[in-house]
Amino acid sequence: MRVVVQEGDFDVGAELQALRQGDPRIGALASFVGLVRDVNDGSGVTEMTLEHYPGMTEKALTAIVDEAARRWAILDALVIHRVGRLLPTEQIVLVAVAGGHRGEVFAACEFIIDYLKTRAPFWKRELGSSGARWVDARQADDQAAERWRD
């Protein structure tokens, strides 16, 4: 299990290859990639800055991945989340989960991104035609996370 917070981009192919490398028990690999869009709530977005809480971010991500491993029989998982200045079409986050079968890796991958969006201390600030604004949390994200409550 690995969590990484970094400014630089990541290579999805290389990361997935590394995650499954050398473990013949892995029969399924699910991944999610979040990207910067050029529009949000009907307003144009020209760039985004991601702020986070160093120290707590890594702890929160580790706790989320550990919880996924407790709930499903997965073999490995990876979260890479970028911070700093990002432009539309750039990659923000990668969640990847490896396991024996598709059921648990699909579920664990979705669980991790849903919990990340409501529990990991990141904040998006968007710059667009109407100036800069901090992105509001979305109720739909809370509802998505709520589905996984024990």
Partner 1 sequence: MKILYFAGLRERLGVGCEELELPAGVSDVAGLLAFLSARGGQWAALATVRNLRYAVNQEMARPDSPLAAGDEVAFFPPVTGG
For the bound state, the minimum distance from the C-beta of residue 100 to partner 1, rounded and expressed in Å, comes to: 26
Residues engaged in binding partner 1 (CB under 8 A): 34, 50-53, 55-56, 59-60, 81, 92-93, 113, 116-125, 134-138, 141
Smallest CA-to-CA distance from 109 within 47, 33, 15 is with: 33
Task: Give the DSSP per-residue string, the chain.
Answer: -EEEEESS---HHHHHHHHHTT-TT--EEEEEEEE--SEETTEE-SEEEEEE-TTHHHHHHHHHHHHHHHHS-EEEEEEEEE-EEE-TT-EEEEEEEEESSHHHHHHHHHHHHHHHHHHS-EEEEEEETTEEEEPPPPHHHHHHHHTT--
Q: Smaller CB distance to partner 1: residue 57 or 106?
A: 57
For the bound state, the minimum distance from the C-beta of residue 113 to partner 1, rounded and expressed in Å, comes to: 6
Q: Smaller CB distance to partner 1: residue 5 or 20?
A: 5
Beta bridge partners of 74: 99
Q: Smaller CB distance to partner 1: residue 26 or 82?
A: 82
Q: Smaller CB distance to partner 1: residue 104 or 114?
A: 114
For the bound state, the minimum distance from the C-beta of residue 101 to partner 1, rounded and expressed in Å, comes to: 26
Q: Smaller CB distance to partner 1: residue 11 or 134?
A: 134
For the bound state, the minimum distance from the C-beta of residue 59 to partner 1, rounded and expressed in Å, comes to: 5
For the bound state, the minimum distance from the C-beta of residue 16 to partner 1, rounded and expressed in Å, comes to: 19
